[in-house]
């Protein structure tokens, strides 16, 4: 078990839309506000306190999130995390992959470009899930095979050992989801599987991530843990020039 900071770089199927499991309405929301000001945007997101706060904010932000945040700030975090997952898999089969806090689905597209096809998403916001459901690859095929509305701070209605890997960017951060979610995520990954989680670096320190990882390793739940730096933006939002992130890769015992 290596729990220190390691700065090494990190099917065919019928065409169909994603399957919503308990998601309620997966249509596009028309409630986005068209810019990242007011009650949406990164500062508002970092100031959230509860899952319900997250549901409310992302309901308002979903329709404009890609243009106002991903594109405007040249967000690269999802690509960094996807690349770290592919790197740690090192050619092993890691599908199906679950993207937790998938939002509008930017990691799904990054994984698709890496040749991954069996991609699933989970998020607390039906409006963000609707954006992910509409995301297609260059051939018009839906990027996500299924999308589920769920709260990562609660027990998940997902069978144990269901996925080969879990991936995430932008969700383990201030005001969102902390290390308390890790036990449930580990439960739904099969033995020998991998988790690759982007974690805001300042949040990693403040929320006790390292202590949680050490505890998981001590109880035999991790075979390996590596932490590498990951870029978030090429053009950071004002006031967030110093924000940094980590790609935390966890390998489960076989
Ligand atoms: C900053 S966005 C990141 C979205 C996407 N992964 C990305 O990199 O652009 C954070 C996402 O986490 C989701 N989220 C927040 N709290 C959550 C929770 N308790 N359970 C599940 N998803 C949550 C939000 O709805 C939102 O889609």
What is the tens place of the pLDDT at every residue in 124-172? 999 999 999 999 999 999 999 999 999 999 999 999 999 999 999 999 9
Is the CB of 94 inside a 6 Å radius of any atom of ligand 1?
no
* Ligand 1 pocket residue status of 101, Cβ below 6 Å: yes
Using a 6 Å cutoff on CB, does residue 54 contact ligand 1?
yes
CATH superfamily, with its number, for domain 5-251: Vaccinia Virus protein VP39 (3.40.50.150)
Name the pTM for this structure: 0.88
Closest CA to 146 of 117, 170, 169: 117
CA angle in degrees (0–180, nearest 5) for 138-194-156: 85
Give me the residues paired with residue 136 across strands: 142
State the SS3 of 195-235. EEEEEEHHHHHHCCHHHHHHHHHHCCCCCEEEEEEECCECC
pLDDT, average across residues 88-116: 96
Residue of minimum CA distance from atom 25 in ligand 1: 125
> Residue 105 CA: which ligand 1 atom is closest?
5
User: In sequence order, which residues have a C-beta less than 8 Å from that of residue 226 and are 6 or more positions away?
Assistant: 2, 6, 8, 10, 88, 248, 249
Instruction: Point out the ligand 1 atom lying closest to the alpha carbon of residue 198.
Output: 8
Atom of ligand 1 nearest to the CA of 77: 8
Please state, rounded to an integer, the average pLDDT across all residues of the chain: 87
Domain map of the chain by residue range? Answer: 5-251
Q: Is 60 in the pocket of ligand 1 (CB under 6 A)?
A: no
Q: Closest ligand 1 atom to the C-alpha of 103?
A: 27
Instruction: Output the pLDDT for position 39.
Output: 83
Q: Distance between alpha carbon 27 and the CA centroid of its chain, in Å?
A: 21
How many A from CA of 198 to the centre of ligand 1?
A: 12
* 247 close to 84: Cβ distance less than 8 angstroms: yes
Question: Is the distance from the beta carbon of residue 128 to the nearest atom of ligand 1 less than 6 Å?
Answer: yes
What CA–CA distance (Å, rounded) separates 7 from 141?
A: 36
């Amino acid at each position: 078990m290596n729990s220190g900071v390691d700065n090494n770089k990190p099917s065919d199927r019928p065409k169909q839309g994603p399957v919503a499991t308990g998601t309620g309405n997966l249509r596009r929301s028309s409630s986005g506000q068209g810019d990242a000001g007011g009650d949406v945007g990164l500062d508002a997101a970092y100031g959230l306190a509860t899952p319900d706060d997250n549901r409310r904010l992302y309901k308002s932000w979903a329709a404009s999130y890609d243009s106002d945040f991903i594109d405007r700030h040249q967000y690269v975090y999802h690509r960094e995390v996807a690349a770290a997952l592919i790197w740690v898999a090192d050619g092993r089969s890691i599908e199906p992959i679950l993207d937790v806090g998938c939002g509008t689905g930017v990691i799904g597209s990054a994984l698709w470009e890496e040749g991954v096809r069996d991609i699933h998403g989970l998020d607390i916001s039906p409006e963000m899930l609707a954006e992910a459901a509409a995301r297609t690859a260059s051939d018009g095929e839906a990027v996500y095979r299924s999308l589920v509305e769920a709260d990562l701070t609660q027990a998940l209605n997902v069978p144990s050992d269901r996925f080969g890997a879990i991936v995430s960017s932008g969700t383990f951060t201030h005001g969102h989801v902390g290390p308390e979610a890790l036990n449930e995520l580990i439960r739904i990954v099969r033995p020998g599987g991998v988790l690759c989680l982007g974690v805001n670096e300042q949040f990693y320190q403040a929320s006790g991530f390292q202590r949680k990882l050490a505890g998981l390793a001590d109880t035999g739940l991790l075979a390996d843990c590596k932490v590498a730096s990951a870029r978030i933006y090429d053009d950071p939002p004002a006031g967030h020039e110093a924000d940094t992130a980590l790609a935390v890769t966890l390998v489960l015992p076989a």
